Structure 1
Amino acid sequence: MLTIHAAPLVLPVGAAAVVDGAVAVDGDRIAALGPYEEVTAAHPAARVRRWPGLLTPGLRQDRPAELLTGCYHPDPRESAELGELPLWGAEFERLSATMDAARRAGSVRRGLQRMLRHGTTHLAGPLDAADPVLRTAVSRSGLVLLPPPPAPPGPPDLDPFAAGGDLARTVGAPLTVGGRADLAAFDVPDEAALRAGGARACVATVLAGRLVHRAR
Structure 2
Amino acid sequence: MRTLHVADLLRTALDGEPVGGRAVLVDGDRIAAVGPVDELVGGYPGVRVRRWAGTLGPALVHDGPLPSAPSPREQVYALFRLGAAAALAAEVTDPAVRAAAGRNGLALLDRPGAPELRVAGRADLAVFDTDGRCLATVVAGRLVHRRA
TM above 0.5: yes
Matching residue of 2:74: 110
Matching residue of 1:47: 48
Which of 101, 107, 128 aligns to 1:144? It is: 107
Distance in 1, matches of 2:18 and 2:44, equals 21
TM-score normalised by the chain length of structure 2: 0.89
Look up the SS of the partner of 1:117 in the other structure: helix
Specify the code of the residue in structure 1 equivalent to 2:42: A
Report which of the two structures shows the higher radius of gyration computed on alpha carbons. Answer: 1
Distance in 2, matches of 1:142 and 1:15, equals 25
Q: 1:74-89 counterparts in 2 under 5 A?
A: 74=70
Q: CA RMSD in A?
A: 1.9
Report Cα offsets for 1:31-80 as digits up to 9, x if no partner.
Answer: 111111111111121000000010010001001xx325xxx425xxxxxx
Q: 1:1-216 counterparts in 2 under 5 A?
A: 1-13=1-13, 17-63=18-64, 66-67=65-66, 72-74=68-70, 106=71, 108-126=72-90, 127-128=92-93, 131-149=94-112, 173-188=115-130, 197-198=131-132, 201-216=133-148
Can you give the 5+ residue segments of structure 2 that lack an aligned partner in the other structure? none
Seen in structure 2, the aligned counterparts of structure 1 residues 15 and 43 have a Cα distance that, compared at 3 Å, is farther
Distance in 1, matches of 2:102 and 2:48, equals 29
Q: Is the 8 A contact 1:7 1:50 kept in 2?
A: yes
Q: Is the 8 A contact 1:18 1:35 kept in 2?
A: no
Structure with higher helix content: 1
TM-score normalised by the chain length of structure 1: 0.62
Distance in 2, matches of 1:51 and 1:142, equals 22
Report Cα offsets for 1:13-44 as digits up to 9, x if no partner.
Answer: 18764312110100011111111111111112
Where has structure 1 moved over 6 Å in runs of 4 or more?
none
Seen in structure 2, the aligned counterparts of structure 1 residues 43 and 16 have a Cα distance that, compared at 3 Å, is farther
Matching residue of 1:165: none
Distance in 1, matches of 2:128 and 2:17, equals 18
Structure with higher strand content: 2
Distance in 2, matches of 1:135 and 1:67, equals 11
Q: Is the 8 A contact 1:187 1:203 kept in 2?
A: yes
Distance in 2, matches of 1:145 and 1:132, equals 13
